[in-house]
Structure 1
């Protein structure tokens, strides 16, 4: 995916239509997105190598289509409103719905697969994901029909290489890029071992996995709602910074205080960690548009699509790094699936659930001290840009 991000970000900065710069992409790629989701879950009756080629091909297609529709989608926050409070609120609603959708899909899709497959699991998932793809396509079209781009930034004529050079001069955007990389490292490592923690460390077996993970999802949803309210009274960047430091402290406390029999304490800590950790989400994704405006003020050139695409690159890169770290740590601690875990393996699972991701969140909390664009500073940026355009 990272290699596909740069051209799409560049193209969105070059396009302008009667529907705006970003909205048309939602219409053009909604149906291809739905088909790409469906094709990924088809298993053709072919030889093994042909099936492998099909799997790689459909995955690459899905990656390209997903990138083509996602970059304009997240970039729209910068043009549907210029009010930082409204941007944060919109992102809050966005992530509440994202968490609810992910939770419902996790529950509904396996049930649909059993019902539709009638004993054929592969066919059941094919039909189920076909329905999910169709719903996704319809929702993208709904988003296209019900939104408007209210600001029209100047379209740049510079090449992608020159835009990239200007983007690298935007120190606040670079900070956001490193922040999302670090956040994804923490998220992926903790999220990937949460099920192992419930099953093995807490000795709850498979039956404990679902309620444990559900606790985290509920905490995340409540965090999105709380952020929109708290930032009305508290500087959003300070909130971002301190919630990540609180996440570090809670994670350390969880490691040292939760034993294998402390189910209630484990659930409580997992809830609190997810709550404070995820409070940054609406702030982070609304901050990208503000960093774009900061870059325009600093360099004289607006680079929007490439900026949002670049953040996605950092995000995917962070996920890749986390995946590598996770694989190394699981091997290092001697984890083996579906067997009784050794004391060393259980210690490793506890560390990957708490202290190891905590270090990434601490780094984010410290790094965000360098991030300058709070609401007051952003109003100064808007005033300077308005005077420039007058």
Structure 2
């Protein structure tokens, strides 16, 4: 077992990075669709296409950023410099995304495309390094899992701030002009994210040195595809994100129209889900110390499907109390898997190194990031199309047909994706014990590569040394 233990300060610093990241993720998952339809004034169908188009850009930028991480190293390391140099652009892009110019519809649509693409590209430039850095902070799976717990705890704190503070500040600062209020409130969140990235930069360290793969991108891609465990995780990431984003995106509509609530109830409902998820981070870390992390992953997601069906059939329009209870339970159970997922990506990369004899790290992490954003894009498209299909009209009194559709989008539809996600996880087989064997094989590979390099520098062929 590795002795690369992380201090509490470093884990907090690492977590602060995800808190910054989740200023964007939480806003995209929980309020951006509602903001675009009810505040910005876009049509659901146009939003659906916007979300899908931007993901096509991610198909290029995410793998590219992963490759850059592999090829570029600085005196601060491979990953940390981006927390320093992209912090300010990140905050500015958040502010611009939630700015609503007083233009005609087509011009506003162009602005939405421009700012959403901007925030997505900058998000990629800082997020790929962030999700990659845990692999070089420590090679201890327990420490990685513990750090993931800190990370996701702070992520949910950010989500809590976005869902409860932003609506309140938007109403207080904007008054009758909610667009101005949201711009100011999200501008504050962007400034906070900038400071958090800087804190992450100054408190984290890169300790573990891996042999960086220098093979052409096509060769790396072929090697990555041969990593069956990475394939499972990337597929699960897409499916799980679709379910998560559909539920999160429609929660504001559910609270406003299905439960008949005002801005305070909307904030309370969104915050209930975030508080449940935050508590889930703590519970997951505790449970995985005593229970198989893979079993927790599998059965928690299947349980989400069951709870979602129960909520759909038991909660009627206006049934606020029961809706809050079941939404809390769903939000708690669904996030039990999160620390596990983000801690095992590095294990899948190491597995691929042993299986194929070559390490493909940057492209692997870039691929996972793209899988997450592909899921977000697909989910955004689905939400926009379903709102159109169910005849949703912003600010209007919704029909029974529309309310039923909103309820389905919060419960059964995302629940089905999570059930599939949990079922697919039965194909993932890297346990803690098997990973120890992988690490031992990695040590042998590293040792042999070091010997070969020394022999090459000395003018001795590896075959001569062997003889």
Structure-2-length-normalised TM-score = 0.77
1:13 aligned onto 2:70: yes
Aligned to 2:348: 291
Contact 1:251 / 1:358 at 8 angstroms: preserved in 2? yes
Note the C-alpha offset of 1:3. Answer: 2.4
Note the alpha carbon deviations across 1:96-148, whole angstroms, 9 max, x for none.
11111222233434555566679876666555544433332222121111111
CA distance in 1, matches of 2:432, 2:224: 22
Of 214, 227, 230, the residue aligned with 2:284 is 227
Aligned to 2:51: none
1:196 aligned onto 2:244: no
Aligned to 1:162: 219
Bigger shift: residues 56-65 or 357-366: 56-65
CA distance in 1, matches of 2:398, 2:172: 35
CA distance in 2, matches of 1:245, 1:340: 35
1:62 aligned onto 2:119: yes
Bigger shift: residues 261-270 or 163-172: 261-270
1:87 aligned onto 2:147: no
Contact 2:166 / 2:186 at 8 angstroms: preserved in 1? yes
Change (3 A) 1:380 1:143: same
Note the alpha carbon deviations across 1:320-339, whole angstroms, 9 max, x for none.
22222223333333333333
CA distance in 1, matches of 2:121, 2:301: 33
Structure-1-length-normalised TM-score = 0.91
Change (3 A) 1:354 1:128: closer
Note the C-alpha offset of 1:10. Answer: 0.6
Of 182, 198, 203, the residue aligned with 1:146 is 203
Contact 2:164 / 2:270 at 8 angstroms: preserved in 1? no
Note the C-alpha offset of 1:291. Answer: 0.8
Note the C-alpha offset of 1:159. Answer: 1.7
CA distance in 1, matches of 2:103, 2:254: 39
Note the C-alpha offset of 1:359. Answer: 1.0
Structure 1 residue ranges without an equivalent (≥5): none
Contact 1:38 / 1:126 at 8 angstroms: preserved in 2? yes
CA distance in 2, matches of 1:45, 1:324: 25
Which residues in structure 2 correspond to 1:350-369 (within 5 Å)? 350-369=407-426
Change (3 A) 1:280 1:348: same
Contact 2:240 / 2:417 at 8 angstroms: preserved in 1? yes
CA distance in 2, matches of 1:257, 1:211: 21
Contact 1:113 / 1:127 at 8 angstroms: preserved in 2? yes
Of 349, 353, 358, the residue aligned with 1:301 is 358
Contact 1:2 / 1:316 at 8 angstroms: preserved in 2? no
Aligned to 1:343: 400
Of 335, 358, 380, the residue aligned with 1:323 is 380
Aligned to 2:85: 28
Bigger shift: residues 67-76 or 30-39: 30-39
Note the C-alpha offset of 1:384. Answer: 1.1
Note the alpha carbon deviations across 1:259-294, whole angstroms, 9 max, x for none.
335433222111111111111111111111111111
Note the C-alpha offset of 1:182. Answer: 0.8
CA distance in 2, matches of 1:43, 1:139: 26
Aligned to 1:383: 440
Note the alpha carbon deviations across 1:62-119, whole angstroms, 9 max, x for none.
3222211110011111111111111111111111111112222334345555666798
Change (3 A) 1:148 1:206: closer
Bigger shift: residues 347-356 or 82-91: 347-356
Note the alpha carbon deviations across 1:171-230, whole angstroms, 9 max, x for none.
111111110111111112222222332333334455532222221111100000000000
Contact 2:163 / 2:270 at 8 angstroms: preserved in 1? no
CA RMSD, 1 decimal: 2.6
Change (3 A) 1:338 1:49: closer
CA distance in 2, matches of 1:125, 1:331: 25
Aligned to 1:274: 331
CA distance in 2, matches of 1:253, 1:265: 11
Bigger shift: residues 125-134 or 247-256: 125-134
Bigger shift: residues 20-29 or 141-150: 20-29
Note the C-alpha offset of 1:31. Answer: 2.6
Q: Tell me the matched-pair count.
A: 390
Aligned to 2:14: none
Contact 1:2 / 1:312 at 8 angstroms: preserved in 2? no
1:373 aligned onto 2:430: yes
Which residues in structure 2 correspond to 1:28-47 (within 5 Å)? 28-40=85-97
